[in-house]
Amino acid sequence: MATPRRAMVLAAGFGLRLRPITLTKPKPLVAVGGRTMLDRALDSLAASGVTDAVVNAHYLREQVVARCAERRAAGKLPNTVVSEEEVLLDTGGGIKNALPLLGSSPFLAVNADIVWQDGATSALDRLGALFSPDRMDALLLLVVRDRAIGFEGPGDFFLEEGGRLKRRGDAASAPFVYAGVQVLAPHVFDGTPEGPFSLNRIYDRAIAAGRLFGLAHDGAWYHVGTPEALDEADRLLGAGVR
């Protein structure tokens, strides 16, 4: 499949662990290496040919709305509309709420509070090329836990033969971390609840059906979860480390 031309950018969260920085600024508008995480995500989407993006917003959403308006005024792609949430809808609910704007074909979904750098090929293009609607409900970009800069957790998934994913479960650790970038088929939201819910509901259902797949990222990835992690990412990105 070709790289999807539509994308969802998740930018509604509170960024609690990044306080006090996020007391006055939503996390996606925090600058890392001289550029906001939201701009990094949108610019990466544009570079891979994405023409239309939906950005959801809740916490300090007027700042997200203003930044998207600035991009539109400057003629920057992708064409961006904001899906404002009066109540925070979580990852799954936020995307479901925006489905009328995303169309009927598979689309990219990107967290606006993470930073990645491409390896030899665009991560978004690699996801698009690998995604197969006949076999997959979702395809997640993964990063090797030991290479996840600023990440200290036990990991999320095992990548099995053929690319299917298995959760860490009761294991002490798992080798891969979900990188916050994915391709989703719209039908995975069929039968999901109205209001807030996590994408984990969809992942669990896809795992049970053997339709959740992963792709290992071949570039750098930064977990910007705390002020200390932000300092590290800012230092490395400012120095041009890949």
User: Does residue 76 lie in a domain region?
Assistant: yes
The answer to whether residue 98 sits within a structural domain is yes
Q: Read out DSSP for 24-60? A: SS-GGGSEETTEEHHHHHHHHHHHTT--EEEEEE-TT
| pLDDT value, residue 241 | 44
Report residue 39 CA to chain centroid gap. Answer: 13
Mind listing the pLDDT tens digit for each residue in 71-106? 999 999 999 999 999 999 999 999 999 999 999 999
Backbone angles phi, psi at 78, to 5 degrees: -75, 165
Radius of gyration of the chain (CA): 17
Handedness of CA 148, 149, 152, 153 (dihedral sign): negative
In a domain, 127, yes or no: yes
Identify the pLDDT of residue 68: 97
Q: Which residue has the tokens 């990835």?
A: 221
Question: Do the domain assignments include residue 93?
Answer: yes
Residues 167-183: tens digit of each pLDDT: 999 999 999 999 999 99
At residue 150, the pLDDT reads 86
Does any domain span residue 201?
A: yes
Q: What is the pLDDT of residues 101-137, one digit of tens each?
A: 999 999 999 999 889 999 989 999 999 999 999 999 9
Give 129-168 pLDDT, tens digit per residue: 999 999 999 999 999 999 999 888 899 999 998 999 999 9
- Give the model's pLDDT for residue 34: 87
Residue 70 has pLDDT above 90, yes or no: yes
**Global pTM value:** 0.93
CA atoms within 13 A on the CB side of 57: 22
Asked if residues 92 and 201 have their Cβ atoms less than 8 Å apart, the reply is yes
Strand 176-184 and strand 107-111: pairing? antiparallel
> What average pLDDT does this structure show over 42-65?
96
Query: Rounded CA gap, 86 and 97, in Å?
Result: 12
The CATH number assigned to the domain holding 190 equals: 3.90.550.10
* CA gap 184, 181 in Å, rounded: 10
* Mean pLDDT of the chain, nearest integer: 94
Confirm whether 1 is domain-assigned.
no
Domain that residue 89 falls in: 6-238
Pairing type for strands 176-184 and 138-144 reads antiparallel
Predicted confidence (pLDDT) at residue 242 exceeds the cutoff of 50: no
More confident: 17 or 137: 137
pLDDT-based confidence at residue 235 (cuts at 50, 70, 90): confident
Question: Could you give the percent of the chain with pLDDT greater than 70?
Answer: 98
Reported confidence tier of residue 237, pLDDT bands at 50, 70, 90: confident
Neighbours of 122 (CB within 10 A): 17
Distance, in Å, from the CA atom of 166 to the CA atom of 160, rounded to the nearest integer, reads 7
| Residue 224 covered by a domain | yes
What's the one-letter identity of residue 4? P
Q: CA angle, corner 62, sides to 124 and 29, nearest 5?
A: 45
- Does 240 have pLDDT greater than 70? no
pLDDT-derived band at 239, boundaries 50, 70, 90:
low
Strand partners, 81: 54
How many distinct structural domains can be found in the chain?
A: 1
CA–CA separation, 58 and 22 (whole Å): 13
CA 217/CA 86 separation, integer angstroms = 34
